[in-house]
Structure 1
Amino acid sequence: MKVLAGLTVVCVMASITQAELNITEEQRSKLLAHHKACSKEVNVGDDVAEKLLDGVFPNDKTFKDYLYCLSKRIGFQNQAGEVQKDVIVKKLKDSIEDPSKAEEYALKCLVEDKDPAELVYRVVTCLQESTPNLLFAQ
């Protein structure tokens, strides 16, 4: 199964190869740049991205802030923190076995929250629970 193009930004560790991610070299470079920028902005180490690769979503502020930074950089949320449903649906269609279910998954997981970091955390954890193979290459 393809890796979710946008949210795979969490997979940018240098040890992850282009083939494992099923992405182009250009996409890999962008993902690495996003990871580096967000790591610096939020002041986290590579262990945070490693947790994401393992499917672990710590319920803590630092992790959520890192995830929010990534989400803005890849276009899942705008600068005001609002979720961009169309972007998420498009990425889902490109990543799941049955693209016709993309809208269903997006609608199920798009929630409201005043805190944009909490919002993206809730969306991502919902997507992972709804489609377990979506975020991580199996």
Structure 2
Amino acid sequence: MYAALTLTSEQRTRIDAIHTECVGQTGVDPEVIKKGRLGEFPDDLKFKEFLLCVTKKESFPK
């Protein structure tokens, strides 16, 4: 199950910035993130750190 969201341009910009910052902080492989979006959640420390980073930085709505 999934939900489709309509985001404002400000929200999309914020999400993109958080994504870029968290990738830089954790060094996660972007291919691992793509797999996560498809429902494949690897037992990868950097991926887990990325998810934690994103979760801490998100605060919708803004």
Structure 2 unaligned spans of 5+: none
- Hey, what's the Cα distance between the residues in 1 that align with 2:6 and 2:51? 21
Match of 1:124? Answer: none
| Cα distance in structure 2, aligned partners of 1:22 and 1:51 | 22
The match for 1:30 is 14
Matched, 1:45 2:29: yes
Large movers: runs of 4+ above 4 Å:
none
Q: Distance in 1 between matches of 2:14 and 2:44?
A: 26
Provide the residue aligned with 2:41 in structure 1: 57
Tell whether the 8 Å contact from 2:26 to 2:49 is kept in structure 1 after alignment.
yes
Q: CA deviation at 1:71?
A: 0.7
Question: TM-score normalised to the size of structure 2?
Answer: 0.76
Larger Rg: 1
Counterpart-to-counterpart distance in 2, 1:70 and 1:33: 10
Give the C-alpha shift of residue 26 in structure 1: 1.3
What's the CA shift for 1:67?
0.5
TM (normalized to structure 1)?
Answer: 0.38
Amino acid paired to 2:32: V
Over aligned residues, Cα RMSD in angstroms?
2.3
Q: Any gaps of 5 or more consecutive residues in structure 1?
A: 4-20, 76-86, 88-138
